[in-house]
Amino acid sequence: MNAREQFERMRQEWRQSRRLRLGALVVLLIIGAHVVLTLSDRQQAMAQDYRRDAALLGRLEEASHESAWPERAEQAEAAADAMRASIPQAASDGLAQAELQAWLSGQAATGQLQQARVRAEATLDVPGQPELWQVVARLEGAVPAGGLDRFLQSLSSGLPWIQVERLEITEGRETQLSAIVRGYYRKPDAAPAAPADANAPATGGAP
């Protein structure tokens, strides 16, 4: 059977079979409904994307017309400068240790610690902050009866640049206290470069 005869046979079956025509119609309706739903979902998604982009554009336009942004940036920079300036400055790492030792000795005296012992253990650079030192020190002593709260309140007065990292309290005939304290200090400002001597011979030129 050649292709023409096969086509004629299919056409006769199509004309004679009502069930075949109905089945094909159902298939076409299903395909059409699927296409319509797919287009509808895609259109809704595109509409949502458009509304979201339009809202974002509107917020950006409002922000671009906001005149307070430069003022807020200046205020934030001034606050950061003030915070940096509030960090105590030490001329050397040894003086930074001495500063923290003196401060801890003062808090021990205020808290009336008995047999107070203060020693600095290390001075380190602060990671990511090359202009700062951190000093680690230890404070030990016996706390008088009822004096623990007063002493802890005194220690907290150094925040945020002097922090208690670890505190151990041992109860007994006497309350023994051991504290690890970390203090932060600014390094001295870099000295300005010395001016060149006009009378000094130039270097790198022809003799």
Sheet of 175-186: strands edge to edge?
A: 114-126, 129-143, 175-186, 162-170
Measured between alpha carbons, how far is 66 from 55 in angstroms, rounded to an integer? 17
Which DSSP state fits 156? H
Please tell me what DSSP assigns to residue 190.
P
Q: Cα–Cα distance between 21 and 15 in angstroms, integer?
A: 8
Classify the phi-psi angles of 204: left when phi > 0, otherwise alpha if psi is within -120 to 50, otherwise beta.
left
The mean pLDDT of the chain is 80
Q: What is the chain's alpha carbon radius of gyration, rounded to the nearest angstrom?
A: 41
Residue 18's pLDDT is 72
The answer on pLDDT for 203 being more than 60 is no
pLDDT at position 66:
63
| Whole-number pLDDT of residue 67 | 62
> What are 11-56's pLDDT values in tens digits?
777 677 777 677 777 777 788 777 777 777 777 777 777 778 778 8
**Does residue 131 or residue 17 have the better pLDDT?**
131
